[in-house]
Amino acid sequence: MKQIKRKRDAAALNSRLIRRPIQRMVWLFLLPTFAAFCIGFLYPFLQGVFLSFCKFKVISQWDWVWFGNYIKAFSDSSFLHAFWFTALFAFVSVLFINTLAFAVAYALTQGIKGSNLFRTVFFMPNLIGGIVLGYIWSMIFDGILVKYNTSVVLNSKFGFWGLIILICWQQVGYMMIIYIAGLQAVPEDMLEAARIDGATRWQTLWKVTIPNMMSSFTICIFLTLTNGFKLFDQNLALTAGRPFLQQADGSVIKTTEMLALNIYNSFYSSSGNNRGTAQAKAVLFFVLVAAIGLIQLRSTRKKEVQQ
Amino acid sequence: MRNTLKTREDRRKMVLTVVFAVICIIYVLPILIVLINSFKSNAAVNTETFALPNEDTFMGLQNYIKGMTFGSYPFIKAVFYSLFITIVSSALILLCTSMAAWYVARVGSLFSKIVYYLCVFSMVVPFQMVMFTLSRTANKLHLDTPWTIPVVYLGFGAGLAVFMFAGFVKSIPLEIEEAAAIDGCGPLRTFFLVVLPMMKPTFISVGVLEIMWVWNDFLLPFLVLDINDYRTIPIVVQYLKGSYGQVDMGATMALILLSIIPVIIFYLCCQKHIIKGVAAGAVKG
Amino acid sequence: MKKFLALILALVMALSLVACGGNSGAQGEGDGDAATGSVYYLNFKPEAEEAWQALAKTYTDQTGVPVKVVTAASGEYETMLVSEMDKDGAPTLFQCNEGGVATWGDFCYDLSDSAVYNELASKDYALKNADGEVISIAYCLETYGIIVNKALLEQAGHSLNEITDFDSLKAVADDIHARAGELGFDAFTSAGLDGSSSWRFSGHLANMPLFYEFRDDGVSSKPATIKGTYLDNYKKVWDLYITDSATTGAALLTATGDQAEAEFGEGKAVFYQNGTWEYSNLTEKFGMNPDDLTMIPIYCGVEGEEKAGLCTGTENYWSVNKNAKEEDIKATLDFLYWVVTSEEGTSMMAEQFGACPFNSSKAPSNPFSALANEYVANGCYPVTWAFNYTPAVNDWRAAVVDALSKYTAGDGSWDDVKTAFVEGWATQYANENA
């Protein structure tokens, strides 16, 4: 009895008045979503984990190979390269996008003329899909670079910075919106107080504004970081991993290939023999993305509390 | 003294406005370049990317006409499928997940907790993790048509939506719903007449996120849909670029532009909601 | 009231979920008529899609057997086959050449007793596996080489008779290129490395070094490694292509197949490396005079190449899916027999694919196909399609194209091309047989 009571308390918002009648309609409220969730996520996820321990070409024919796929994944130099490339890309893109987005948001909340128009324009690229974006920019980059007798797929530096420019162009507007909301939520009286105390604009920004909008930073850094790690469409459309680095043993490292594309390529490569390894890579990728998300969220939340 | 301060401030603002106006023009340049190139002949797109069309290279609307009928797949079909999938999927997600979220937030049973934590968990799972098995499952269950793919979207997209809705429901006071229940409202009427109207801001932010996701999604429909019969716009664009022999750059540019236009119209119409939605979603998230 | 509402809502939701599923289910299964069987052909050649659809319709009208033809986008065949094969109602008829045997050999039905196999004019046009089962049969023969615009060649003061080997080809091309400004046209069309064009070089041109190497070494099945003996000859031709043309350097990286075709079609270049399948495009789309067109072998500076013929072969083979339902297999075999023997089928084949290797095949109207036979009749050796042995062909080619790109733009050395070619072959072979 006591235990039941404690359980009820734990579900803090449970009200008997509401709970029972809703519960009776579980088939209407919860089951449709849950059924779709099982089809669209749960079952494929579990099957994916299972298959990462198997060698298979088509799903119906598999051989259990224990950790063979994981060992293969770790000894695949293209996968490791993709990991470091992705990590570097994610880091740089987080830095650029957030700095730019915050700067723009800050400037646009100073009450300058045309703020609304600017905001509209900056947000727009967000609505264009990654594939389309990739092709637009590949045309632009190649149009410029061909004058110097080179191309975005010839030099991995061009590929890297090309992706950074593309991703900034796409995402700065989105993050800017979040920062603007954060800036507008900073209590006016605190800013007023800082002004009365004779704080400079710079001091106010660092000591009052930014600490008060830590949650905006949390969410933006979180979003840009995971977006950076999960980038696929843009990568596929802009460079598709080129240029390749020809290894002496005949294998190639696709120098601008990021993790998601690497996994995709191993799944659907012409031989179809690496499916198991690809699935193992996908599991590792998932663990990585999940870990980053959680660590990042926790560390920034801690900072928020301290403020 | 006061006057000079004010004018200095004004001047600063003027400078900022001018700077931003310039940046904005640079910002829309890529789209303008696509526009320019969509009127140019095939070869000129590659050789003189940034030049305005001249007498030799100007094609008028020919690229657009070609683009609409280009290749083996009519573009208009792709537009229709993209629109259909986006609208139906988003509507389905909004309806089903808001109901599920209310259940999860108001019923503290073990089952609802499990569902909630599974949803949160699914938010950090990248699509590559499930892409192969999901496309297979979808095919087995015949979910590989535009009419049925919304179910897949509901399943894969449920996590974030349930999470956001549940977060919101938890923040609204229980008393309102209790009052409704005392007045004799069943759960259905309570939900649709009382809870749903209160959810409106979250509804909009979730809706905006889902629409943007589904409309631009490439890999999920590419792997799940029966590509022979059904292609969405991103798939058509990818096919245009990746085919043997026949790459008509002019027509590709025309199609890219055509694929951007509906998005921009949508954006300009619902700008306020979109921006609010993004901001609200983020602050909640 | 509220019960009623709830019921309606639940019904709507359930219906929308179930009805969708049921609906498409019916659609999916509607294809396979259990009694008579049906055909599902996953077609490799996008340019022939319409013809196949029309032929399929004719067959269905005549016999009542449903024939579904689906065409993969170019370059997507393998991806598509992988995903289709894994589905219910997988293709009953698909494409499997030497390159695909390692992956798809297990899926191929033994055709040795089939009527369509008996129709083959020469059993050399069939592929067998290690157990001697006939797993696929070639259905068309294609030819490629360097297409020449004779009118322009004469305008430049040269004639075909001058060109008998690589050196003479180079001499003519160099001369035309040097005078390009004055003539108004260049020697070669742009050797674009965009995906729409690069296969001409990573596939067809790469055949030259492969063919000569395999001929020297007597290779007759897919080799695990290659030596690259004739890569210098490959380089010679490639250098010629990228020097004696209007587009050079990094600009070639984005040059498309359409661009090259248009240059040739509009009379801006004399030489254009491509094959029989281009004939109708050039004469119809660009209205070129058929009398101006001819095709010469790809000369690359190999000893005795004055006697080289055109590159004739095929990468197009039919295989029947062993795992399909019995009645579907039977329906597919009947369909194939009809295609290679009936009036409608043979006309379509001759029109679309040119020469076909079956007893009742019609003579093609395409003069390029006839040229190939002419060369052989004149005592030239035919150059076969050695590149069909390429392991994991998309991956191998991608690496070669990437290395070629860097070399072409001056960013990389030829050694990388060699590595991609030779070591890449071994790597992909190992991948494929892992």
Across the interface, which of A30, A215, A223 has its CB nearest the CB of B283? Answer: A215
> Is A23 at the interface with chain B, CB within 8 A?
yes
Chain centroid to CA C131:
27
Nearest to B241 by CA among A151, C100, A233: A233
Query: Is residue B119 within 8 Å of residue A26, measured between CB atoms?
Result: no
Instruction: Determine whether the interchain pair A290/B97 forms a contact, defined as Cβ–Cβ distance below 8 Å.
Output: no
> Which of the 8 DSSP states describes residue A112?
-
pLDDT at A306: 43
- Residues in Cβ contact with A232 at an 8 Å cutoff, skipping those fewer than 6 apart: A130, A258, A260, A261, A264, B127, B128, B218, B219
In chain A, whose CA is at the least distance from the CA of C393?
A270
Per-residue CA distances from A304 to A210, A215, A216 (Å): 11, 7, 10
- Residues in Cβ contact with A36 at an 8 Å cutoff, skipping those fewer than 6 apart: B96, B151, B152, B154, B155, B158, C17
Chain centroid to CA C158:
32
Instruction: Determine whether the interchain pair A269/C425 forms a contact, defined as Cβ–Cβ distance below 8 Å.
Output: no
Q: What pLDDT, in 10s, does the model give residues A166-176?
A: 999 999 999 99
Query: Is residue C413 within 8 Å of residue C231, measured between CB atoms?
Result: no
Span A201-230, average pLDDT: 87
- Residues in Cβ contact with C259 at an 8 Å cutoff, skipping those fewer than 6 apart: B42, B43, B46, C189, C190, C192, C197, C247
Query: Is residue C139 within 8 Å of residue C353, measured between CB atoms?
Result: yes
Across the interface, which of B99, B174, B278 has its CB nearest the CB of A174? Answer: B278
Query: Is residue A108 within 8 Å of residue A180, measured between CB atoms?
Result: yes
Q: Which residue has the higher pLDDT, A292 or C144?
A: C144
Q: For residue A125, is the peptide bond before it cis, meaning its omega torsion is within 30 degrees of 0?
A: no
Nearest to B218 by CA among C193, A135, A49: A135
Residue B253 reports pLDDT greater than 90: no
Instruction: Determine whether the interchain pair A22/B119 forms a contact, defined as Cβ–Cβ distance below 8 Å.
Output: no
| Cβ count within 10 A of residue B265 | 10
Cβ-Cβ contacts under 8 Å, A51 against chain B: 132-133
Q: Which pLDDT band holds residue C74 (cuts at 50, 70, 90)? A: low
pLDDT at A18: 73
pLDDT at A95: 96
> Is A286 at the interface with chain B, CB within 8 A?
yes
Q: Which pLDDT band holds residue A10 (cuts at 50, 70, 90)? A: very low
Q: Which residue has the higher pLDDT, C133 or C86?
A: C133
Which of A96-100, C339-343, C357-361 is predicted least confidently? Answer: C357-361
pLDDT at C12: 46
In chain A, whose CA is at the least distance from the CA of B188?
A22
Cα(A172)–Cα(C206) distance, integer angstroms: 45
Instruction: Determine whether the interchain pair A289/B124 forms a contact, defined as Cβ–Cβ distance below 8 Å.
Output: yes
- Residues in Cβ contact with C225 at an 8 Å cutoff, skipping those fewer than 6 apart: C422, C425, C426, C429
Span C116-138, average pLDDT: 84
Across the interface, which of C250, C394, C411 has its CB nearest the CB of A270? Answer: C394
Instruction: Determine whether the interchain pair A136/B31 forms a contact, defined as Cβ–Cβ distance below 8 Å.
Output: yes
Span C89-95, average pLDDT: 89
The answer to whether C24-140+314-359 and C143-313+374-432 have equal CATH topology is: yes
Query: Is residue C387 within 8 Å of residue C222, measured between CB atoms?
Result: no
Across the interface, which of C392, C409, C433 has its CB nearest the CB of A149? Answer: C409
pLDDT at C35: 58
Cβ-Cβ contacts under 8 Å, B283 against chain A: 178, 181-182, 185, 215-216, 219
Cα(A249)–Cα(C428) distance, integer angstroms: 11
Nearest to A135 by CA among C254, B17, C72: C254
What six digits make up the tokens of C401?
A: 């194209």
ipTM comes to 0.85
In this prediction the pTM is 0.83
Return the CATH fold of B75-243.
Answer: MetI-like fold (1.10.3720)
> Is B210 at the interface with chain C, CB within 8 A?
no
What six digits make up the tokens of C421?
A: 């070619």
What six digits make up the tokens of B194?
A: 């009382």
Query: Is residue C93 within 8 Å of residue C338, measured between CB atoms?
Result: no
| B 54-73 residues inside an 8 A Cβ radius of A | none
Nearest-Cα distance to chain A for B137, in Å, is: 7
pLDDT at A89: 96
Across the interface, which of C16, C20, C194 has its CB nearest the CB of B247? Answer: C194
Amino acid code (one letter) for B87:
I
DSSP C196-260: TTTHIIIIIITHHHHHHHHHHHT--S--S----TTHHHHHHHHHHHHHSBS--GGGGGT--HHHH
Span A175-179, average pLDDT: 91
Across the interface, which of A58, A154, A270 has its CB nearest the CB of C85? Answer: A58
What six digits make up the tokens of A93?
A: 């893109």
Instruction: Determine whether the interchain pair B151/A39 forms a contact, defined as Cβ–Cβ distance below 8 Å.
Output: yes
Chain centroid to CA C144:
11
Characterize B169-198 residue by residue with b for buried, 16 or more Cβ atoms within 10 angstroms of its Cβ, and e for exposed.
beeeebeebeebbeeebbbbbbbeebbeeb
Cα(A304)–Cα(B12) distance, integer angstroms: 33
Cα(A302)–Cα(A296) distance, integer angstroms: 10
> Is A287 at the interface with chain B, CB within 8 A?
no
> Is C231 at the interface with chain A, CB within 8 A?
no
Cβ-Cβ contacts under 8 Å, A29 against chain C: none
Cα(B226)–Cα(B173) distance, integer angstroms: 46
Parse chain B into domains and list their residue ranges: 2-66, 75-243
Q: What pLDDT, in 10s, does the model give residues B42-98?
A: 777 777 778 888 877 787 788 888 777 766 678 888 889 999 999 999 999 999 999
Q: Which pLDDT band holds residue B5 (cuts at 50, 70, 90)? A: low
Q: On the CB side of A142, how many CA atoms lie within 13 Å of its CA? A: 24
Which positions in chain C have a beta carbon within 8 angstroms of at least one beta carbon in chain B? 2, 5-6, 9, 13, 16-17, 20-21, 23-25, 27-28, 46, 49, 70-71, 73-76, 80, 83, 86-88, 194-197, 199, 251, 254-259, 261-262
What six digits make up the tokens of C137?
A: 């049969």
pLDDT at B71: 60
User: Touching C: which chains, 3+ CB pairs < 8 A?
Assistant: A, B
**Which pairing describes strands C126-128 and C142-149: parallel, antiparallel, or unpaired?**
unpaired
Nearest-Cα distance to chain A for B1, in Å, is: 17
> Which of the 8 DSSP states describes residue C304?
T
Q: What pLDDT, in 10s, does the model give residues C4-60?
A: 445 444 444 444 444 444 333 333 333 444 457 889 999 887 777 788 888 999 999
Cα(A130)–Cα(C208) distance, integer angstroms: 40
CATH superfamily of C143-313+374-432: Periplasmic binding protein-like II (3.40.190.10)
Q: Which residue has the higher pLDDT, C7 or C359?
A: C359
Span A216-235, average pLDDT: 88
Query: Is residue C188 within 8 Å of residue C173, measured between CB atoms?
Result: yes
Query: Is residue C275 within 8 Å of residue C338, measured between CB atoms?
Result: no
Query: Where do we find the tokens 């670029």?
Result: B241
Q: Which pLDDT band holds residue A34 (cuts at 50, 70, 90)? A: very high
Length of chain B in terms of residues written: 285
Cα(B262)–Cα(B257) distance, integer angstroms: 9
Cα(B148)–Cα(C16) distance, integer angstroms: 9
Cβ-Cβ contacts under 8 Å, A145 against chain B: none
Length of chain A in terms of residues written: 307
Instruction: Determine whether the interchain pair A244/C422 forms a contact, defined as Cβ–Cβ distance below 8 Å.
Output: no
Cα(A254)–Cα(A233) distance, integer angstroms: 16
| B 88-147 residues inside an 8 A Cβ radius of C | 92, 96, 135-136, 139-145, 147
Cα(C375)–Cα(C385) distance, integer angstroms: 16
> Which of the 8 DSSP states describes residue A32?
H
Taking the alpha carbons at both ends of chain C, their separation in whole angstroms is 66
In chain A, whose CA is at the least distance from the CA of B11?
A112
Span A234-243, average pLDDT: 88
Which of A6-15, A45-54, B120-129, B230-239 is predicted least confidently? Answer: A6-15
Instruction: Determine whether the interchain pair C405/A242 forms a contact, defined as Cβ–Cβ distance below 8 Å.
Output: yes
Nearest-Cα distance to chain B for C412, in Å, is: 23
Chain centroid to CA B210:
6
> Is A103 at the interface with chain B, CB within 8 A?
no
In chain B, whose CA is at the least distance from the CA of A294?
B124
Nearest-Cα distance to chain C for B53, in Å, is: 18
Helices (H) and strands (E) in chain C, counts: 18, 12
User: Touching A: which chains, 3+ CB pairs < 8 A?
Assistant: B, C
Instruction: Determine whether the interchain pair A142/C431 forms a contact, defined as Cβ–Cβ distance below 8 Å.
Output: no
Nearest-Cα distance to chain A for B213, in Å, is: 9
Instruction: Determine whether the interchain pair C262/B42 forms a contact, defined as Cβ–Cβ distance below 8 Å.
Output: yes
> Is C346 at the interface with chain A, CB within 8 A?
no
Cβ-Cβ contacts under 8 Å, C395 against chain A: 269-271
Cβ-Cβ contacts under 8 Å, C51 against chain B: none
| Cβ count within 10 A of residue C170 | 20
DSSP C54-82: HHHHHHHHHH---EEEEEPPTT-HHHHHH
Three-state SS string over C341-379 comes to: HCHHHHHHHHHHHCCCCECCCCCCCCHHHHHHHHHHHCC
Cα(C183)–Cα(C178) distance, integer angstroms: 9
Q: Is C49 exposed, middle or buried (0-12, 13-18, 19+ CB in 10 A)?
A: middle
Q: Is B55 exposed, middle or buried (0-12, 13-18, 19+ CB in 10 A)?
A: exposed
Return the CATH fold of C24-140+314-359.
Answer: D-Maltodextrin-Binding Protein; domain 2 (3.40.190)
Which H/E stretch holds residue A307?
none
Residue A100 reports pLDDT greater than 70: yes
Residue C389 reports pLDDT greater than 90: no
A229: left (phi over 0), alpha (psi -120 to 50) or beta: alpha
What is the count of residue pairs from A and C with beta carbons less than 8 Å apart? Answer: 114
Nearest-Cα distance to chain C for A92, in Å, is: 26
